[in-house]
Structure 1
Amino acid sequence: MEYAWRTIISEVEARKVKIFAKDKKLVGEVYEMMLYLQEILRSLKKSIATNGFDSEREEIYFFREVKPQILGKLIYYNNVYCLEIACPNQKGKIYKRFFSLQLRKLKKEYEEISKLEFFKYYRSGRSDNDQTYFRMGNINYFDGLCSIVFEIDINFSTYYDGIISRIIANDLLYVYLHAKINPSDNDDFNLGDVQAEKDFSWTESKNALIELIYALQASGAISYGKLEIRKMVLVFQKLFKIQMTDPHHAFHRMKQRAGSRTIFLDQLKGSLEEYMNKGL
């Protein structure tokens, strides 16, 4: 079952809308993506209602990793759709003011979410309380949860999967709004013929790329380490045409690895030394 879920997530990652495209088809493409994601959620809900979960581990994996990836993107695309049809037609002060206001609202929501103990738990990559947070029927109302908890479908939610979905959506929305307010930031680098080269692609895992990005930032190899991780991620996403939904969470999970925490960097060192030895 987990393999099938990973396949679904991979398909969702592959079928993404180029949000920053400057064409009139954007709203229509975003709407189609919303319908696509909504249908996936309906299908998953029906499957779980019929078959349930094979194990506690599978249930936790679904509500922590699978559903938030789909629901988070659905929330994100819905927000983009609403903003695109409501924003001023002409670019200028009113246009920029509109998106600046949305960014302030997003930051306010982020401040509220970041106060939650669960937010710190999730961002730190912890898993010791997963049985409490990601199993249906385990909602503790004494924690003073948001009133929306009474509106959720208890047969397809643990409440906290919804919070992760919101975190994922907000991370994506932040990038979208920032690009609308400062479109020049997306044109700071010109990939030229590299972008047009179909054979130029990242063929390792996304975690490997995240590990490399953090290593470059920590070493000060790029802009003396002063460039934010978020901007570095944007550069590599555009360079390799891939999407890294939550690099901060992935990095924190790396910190919890047993054995070497720098698997990819160790592999790079070994590969380079082996390559050097061939020329001796």
Structure 2
Amino acid sequence: MIRSICENALQVIRKAEKEFSLDPEQIIEKSYHMTTLLRNLLCTVKKNVLEKGFSDENEEVYFFKTVKPQILGKLIYYNKIFRIEASCPVVSGKMHHKHFSNELNLLKQEFKEQFYNTDFYRYYRTGRTECDHHFFCRGKLDLHEVVNSFVFEIDNQFSTYYDYKVSRIIANELLYKYLLSKVEPDKEETALFANGQDTSRDFFWTDSKNALIELIYALHASGSISHGKAGIRKISMVFQLLFRIQLGDVHHAFHRMKDRTDSKSIFLDQLRSSLKQHMDREI
């Protein structure tokens, strides 16, 4: 039941984002609308979670590691866009550039203070799961750990503390790309991001992250991109921007694939099989 509620909530976000525009003339109104929508959605999901509960710890981990951070993270993101844009003194020129440069510097400073070189940030970004039941189940926070004081103010029935940290990571990554597009609009990475946001909202990766990482390494190993001169990091960046997905530490994930006991290229095997079946149907 909870998984169905969660999937419906994520569908609401995807549908709303398809209609979202980065048009400077609409950005304040649109970001305010998204903030309101996400705030109401979070309240609705919270009510359902508190009323229905979770069937087991795995469902609880899924909610607090994946679902709630997607809602809260984007709520933080759109609210920050609204506040930043609404306080911008001019629409162009040096003051405009300085305003967004200052915001970008503040974001970088926040990252250094809150996340840089922390054990949890490395744990989350590398896709590890062995401590999920500690980080993403309620009532398991050890106060001997170094935590922010606001932990005493959170609703313990609807937060594990670390779900908020994941939400902040998601929000900050989205905001970084947005601010970079304002400060350096001609950058290759920003152009790719902007295209993905404006014209390809219905174009997203629906398989696992490991499947995409496997594809990236296959393309690199075959030399199919830029005559083999493009590195893993570059190819990975392009795919992450194209599909609006965070892959974490792709090198670590790839080395785990090498230890698979059955096929080391599960996704590529599936691709080959799917293509063969499709060709057979077309005959």
The TM-score normalised by the length of structure 2 is: 0.78
Partner of 2:118: 116
Partner of 2:6: 5
User: What amino acid does structure 2 have at the position aligned with 1:173?
Assistant: L
Partner of 1:225: 230
Map residues 85-234 of structure 1 onto 2, 5 A cutoff. Answer: 85-112=86-113, 113-185=115-187, 186-187=190-191, 205=207, 207=209, 208=211, 211-213=214-216, 215-216=218-219, 221-223=224-226, 224-226=229-231, 227=234, 229-234=236-241
Structure 2 residue ranges without an equivalent (≥5): none
Offset, 1:248:
2.5
- The total of aligned residue pairs comes to 267
Offset, 1:203:
8.3
Q: 2-side partners of 1:109 and 1:16: how far apart?
A: 26
Partner of 2:248: 248
The answer to whether the 8 A contact 1:17-1:29 is kept is: no
User: Taking structure 1 as reference, are residues 56 and 187 closer, same or farther at Cα in structure 2, changes over 3 Å only?
Assistant: closer
Provide Cα deviations, 1:51-82, integer angstroms capped at 9, x if missing partner: 22221121111111110010000011011111
Partner of 1:265: 268
- Identify which range, 138-147 or 259-268, moves more after superposition: 259-268
Q: 1-side partners of 2:11 and 2:19: how far apart?
A: 17
Q: 2-side partners of 1:51 and 1:278: how far apart?
A: 45
User: What amino acid does structure 2 have at the position aligned with 1:43?
Assistant: T
User: What amino acid does structure 1 have at the position aligned with 2:8?
Assistant: T
User: What amino acid does structure 1 have at the position aligned with 2:247?
Assistant: P
User: What amino acid does structure 1 have at the position aligned with 2:83?
Assistant: C
- Which 4+ runs in 1 deviate beyond 6 A? 17-20, 249-255, 273-279
- Identify which range, 216-225 or 161-170, moves more after superposition: 216-225
Offset, 1:184:
2.3
Q: 2-side partners of 1:136 and 1:214: how far apart?
A: 37
Offset, 1:118:
1.1
Q: 2-side partners of 1:85 and 1:107: how far apart?
A: 21
User: What amino acid does structure 2 have at the position aligned with 1:247?
Assistant: L
The answer to whether the 8 A contact 2:127-2:248 is kept is: no
Q: 2-side partners of 1:130 and 1:214: how far apart?
A: 27
Q: 1-side partners of 2:122 and 2:192: how far apart?
A: 33
> RMSD of the TM alignment (CA)?
3.5
Structure 1 residue ranges without an equivalent (≥5): 238-242
The answer to whether the 8 A contact 1:136-1:158 is kept is: yes
User: Taking structure 1 as reference, are residues 14 and 28 closer, same or farther at Cα in structure 2, changes over 3 Å only?
Assistant: same
